[in-house]
A and B are shown apart, each in its own frame.
Chain A
Amino acid sequence: QKEVEQDPGPLSVPEGAIVSLNCTYSNSAFQYFMWYRQYSRKGPELLMYTYSSGNKEDGRFTAQVDKSSKYISLFIRDSQPSDSATYLCAMKVSGTYKYIFGTGTRLKVLA
């Protein structure tokens, strides 16, 4: 079993929809959780970062962490075609330096 599981998609939604992207993990020591957006032929871009359970909001994006279920989510409200990209979750144990990445979910927002 991988330490981090992420559905590869592709996930296709109409413009304006609410998108939910998810990752599950097995290591209860993970404390730092990140979401990256990666456009085709570009490097990953850090979108959201959190280290606690609960929600963190930034504009149209909300990151949610449920440590009891070992489950994290990224919600995108009012999705736009420009949100079409691959979304990678990443996590890390406190005091360590290795990031463990999901394989990414490919999102397509249709105009």
Chain B
Amino acid sequence: GAGVSQSPSNKVTEKGKDVELRCDPISGHTALYWYRQSLGQGLEFLIYFQGNSAPDKSGLPSDRFSAERTGGSVSTLTIQRTQQEDSAVYLCASSFSDEAFFGQGTRLTVV
């Protein structure tokens, strides 16, 4: 596809369960970002991948959050032992230069 693809688009999970969110960036984009958007809040930076360099994980809110990027392309964000405060929209973006392009997001609801 031409754009950033995220799956699933919606995820409802029970508190304490683990979830995996997937991002397929635009082909050729070397940079990949994960952001979190909560109701009424701005975009919160989570993690950044650039090529084969070590990722910047400084935005991950706790050690329950982790992410990987395989083969410099697809990325998975994993949240372990989900809590209700994890409910938000998780956005992935990719970039080749200065402009970042976003996917449609995964709306996570923890019940």
Contacts and interface: CB of A to CB of B under 8 A. Distances in A.
- A and B co-occur in one complex: yes
Contacts, number: 48
Interface in B19-61: 31, 33, 40-43, 45, 48, 50, 56
Given A8-B40, A51-B98, A92-B98, A42 B104 contact: yes
Interface string B90-111: 0100010011111111010000
A49 B101 contact: no
Contact of A45 (B31, B43, B98, B102): B102
A74 B4 CA distance: 25
A43 B98 contact: no
A46 interface: yes
A60 interface: no
A103 B104 contact: no
Given A8-B40, A97-B50, A43 B99 contact: no
Given A46-B99, A51-B98, A41 B107 contact: yes
10 contacts: A34-B100, A42-B104, A43-B4, A43-B102, A49-B98, A49-B99, A90-B100, A97-B31, A97-B95, A99-B33
